[in-house]
């Protein structure tokens, strides 16, 4: 059984639903056989769905895999959004990522899996659990924190540009298999940490800072399309890649950008060099991820990547 132990609630909920589905399907099968020798109708069983975890921390993500018969297509929605799925070559096993934003309200959220053309469906409950990523207090001279009117105008314009990317229509997935780190460096600024500067709470760190000497090549974490290149006040030379299916990766503070807007890049292709542009104290790479519009820890994408290479995981992943 692919599910982790200790989540009886969800099983009871979906179990009840399965019973209901059986009652609905029995008359359908009989009618089908009588009228047109209809092919058999099967309810979607638990063994057709793999979920890496039914508990996801804020800023974390999980994997969903669905097995279908030849000719069938699975659809998944969660929190009212479509989860884009990638099929294996024979299209009988599909997978996608389930992401919880860093500040998503903890609670239980229902995922709906439907199989077409049969219309069979299953509802799964996934719980988002609060996670404290820690806090950092800094005291800085006032002139370093307060922006003048002109800079403020520039910052607003640049953040508006980024916001447009998050709101753009999803594109067809071009990513496949595992994701790889953009540079090998150690973490020098963890994901999710909140900052309090001069007693004022600031927005949390929505990416991860990796140590890297200036000039270190930065590699695309997966296949994607360059949807932004620019030089912004806070983030310096910036590249954003769209991997399709609402998976975006961003790279800040680059010394040099080696790609152009609209370029298609392959996994591992050099997209730029580590630098210290923008408002930083030294060279490093800030790497951020947006999945289904949720800000998640990029390193979690690496740690679950092995499972993306497996057709059907033998054991479930660890409890968060
Ligand atoms: Zn950063």
Q: Residue 226: give its domain's CATH number.
A: 2.70.70.10
124 and 223 in a single domain? The answer is no
50 and 100 in a single domain? The answer is yes
Assess if residue 269 is contained within a domain. Answer: yes
- Which CATH number do you get for residue 14? 2.60.40.1590
* Residue range 172-190: mean pLDDT, rounded: 95
141 and 58 in a single domain? The answer is no
CA of 18 to the centre of ligand 1 (A): 46
60 and 92 in a single domain? The answer is yes
Per the document, the length of the chain is: 320
Assess if residue 168 is contained within a domain. Answer: yes
Quote the number of domains for the chain. 2
CA of 177 to the centre of ligand 1 (A): 26
CA–CA separation, 239 and 120 (whole Å) = 41
CA of 209 to the centre of ligand 1 (A): 5
Assess if residue 314 is contained within a domain. Answer: no
How many CB atoms sit inside 10 A of residue 57's CB? 23
87 and 25 in a single domain? The answer is yes
- Structural Rg of the chain based on CA atoms: 22
At residue 310 the predicted structure's pLDDT band, cuts being 50, 70 and 90, is confident
Assess if residue 178 is contained within a domain. Answer: yes
CA proximity to 311, closest of 94, 97, 39? 94
CA of 197 to the centre of ligand 1 (A): 15
122 and 30 in a single domain? The answer is yes
The pLDDT mean for the chain works out to 85
- Comparing 153 with 42, which gets the higher pLDDT? 153
CA–CA separation, 126 and 54 (whole Å) = 5
Domain endpoint, select from 81, 108, 131: 131
* Residue range 187-196: mean pLDDT, rounded: 95
CA of 196 to the centre of ligand 1 (A): 15
Assess if residue 194 is contained within a domain. Answer: yes
Query: pLDDT for 41-78, tens place per residue?
Result: 445 666 789 999 999 999 999 999 999 999 999 999 99
143 and 93 in a single domain? The answer is no
* Residue range 220-239: mean pLDDT, rounded: 97
Pairing between strand 207-211 and 61-67? Answer: unpaired
- Does residue 12 have a pLDDT over 50? no
CA of 297 to the centre of ligand 1 (A): 12
80 and 210 in a single domain? The answer is no
Assess if residue 112 is contained within a domain. Answer: yes
Domain endpoint, select from 115, 131, 147: 131
At residue 144 the predicted structure's pLDDT band, cuts being 50, 70 and 90, is confident
CA of 190 to the centre of ligand 1 (A): 8
CA of 285 to the centre of ligand 1 (A): 7
CA of 121 to the centre of ligand 1 (A): 41
CA of 104 to the centre of ligand 1 (A): 20
CA–CA separation, 134 and 207 (whole Å) = 14
At residue 193 the predicted structure's pLDDT band, cuts being 50, 70 and 90, is very high
CA of 238 to the centre of ligand 1 (A): 12
CA of 208 to the centre of ligand 1 (A): 6
CA of 227 to the centre of ligand 1 (A): 20
CA of 167 to the centre of ligand 1 (A): 22
- Tokens at residue 53, please? 């975890």
- Does residue 246 have a pLDDT over 60? yes
122 and 230 in a single domain? The answer is no
Of 17-21, 93-97, 167-171, highest mean pLDDT: 93-97
262 and 276 in a single domain? The answer is yes
At residue 315 the predicted structure's pLDDT band, cuts being 50, 70 and 90, is low
CA of 189 to the centre of ligand 1 (A): 6
260 and 198 in a single domain? The answer is yes
- Comparing 281 with 247, which gets the higher pLDDT? 247
CA of 299 to the centre of ligand 1 (A): 13
Report the predicted TM-score, pTM, of the whole model to 2 decimal places: 0.83
User: What local confidence, expressed as pLDDT, does residue 40 receive?
Assistant: 41
CA of 252 to the centre of ligand 1 (A): 8
Assess if residue 207 is contained within a domain. Answer: yes
CA of 125 to the centre of ligand 1 (A): 33
CA of 244 to the centre of ligand 1 (A): 23
Q: Write down the residue that tokens 């020098």 correspond to.
A: 188
Assess if residue 232 is contained within a domain. Answer: yes
CA of 320 to the centre of ligand 1 (A): 23
Q: Give the dihedral sign, CA 10/178/81/191.
A: positive
101 and 245 in a single domain? The answer is no
For 63, the domain range is 8-131
- Comparing 101 with 140, which gets the higher pLDDT? 101
155: left (phi over 0), alpha (psi -120 to 50) or beta: alpha
CB atoms within 5 A of ion ligand 1 belong to: 209, 286
Domain endpoint, select from 131, 166, 185: 131
């Amino acid at each position: 059984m692919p599910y982790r132990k200790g989540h009886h609630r969800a099983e009871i909920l979906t179990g009840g639903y399965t019973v209901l589905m059986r009652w609905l399907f029995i008359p359908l099968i009989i009618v089908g056989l009588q009228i047109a020798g209809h092919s058999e109708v099967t309810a979607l069983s638990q063994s057709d769905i793999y979920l890496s975890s039914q508990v996801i921390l804020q800023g974390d993500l999980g994997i969903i895999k669905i097995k279908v018969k030849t000719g069938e297509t699975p659809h998944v929605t969660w929190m009212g959004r479509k989860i884009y799925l990638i099929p294996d070559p024979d299209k009988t096993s599909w997978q996608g990522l389930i992401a919880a934003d860093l500040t998503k309200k903890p609670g239980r959220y229902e995922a709906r899996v439907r199989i077409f053309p049969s219309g069979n469906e299953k509802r799964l409950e996934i719980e988002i659990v609060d996670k404290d990523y820690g806090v950092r207090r800094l005291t800085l001279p006032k002139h370093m924190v307060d922006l003048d009117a002109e800079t403020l105008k520039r910052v607003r314009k640049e953040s508006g540009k980024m916001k447009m990317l998050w709101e753009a229509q999803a594109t067809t997935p071009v990513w496949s298999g595992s994701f790889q780190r953009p540079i090998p460096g150690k973490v020098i600024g963890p994901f999710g940490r909140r900052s309090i500067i001069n007693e004022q709470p600031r927005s949390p760190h929505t990416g991860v800072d990796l140590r890297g000497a200036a000039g270190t090549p930065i590699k695309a974490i997966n296949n994607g399309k360059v949807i932004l290149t620019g030089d912004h006040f806070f983030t310096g030379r910036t590249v954003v890649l769209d991997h399709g299916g609402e998976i975006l990766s961003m790279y800040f503070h680059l010394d040099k950008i080696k790609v152009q807007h609209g370029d298609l890049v392959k996994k591992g292709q050099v997209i730029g060099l580590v630098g210290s542009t923008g408002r930083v104290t030294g060279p490093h790479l800030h790497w951020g991820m947006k999945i289904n519009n949720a800000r998640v820890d990029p390193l979690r994408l690496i740690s679950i990547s092995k499972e993306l290479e497996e057709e059907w995981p033998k054991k479930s992943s660890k409890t968060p």
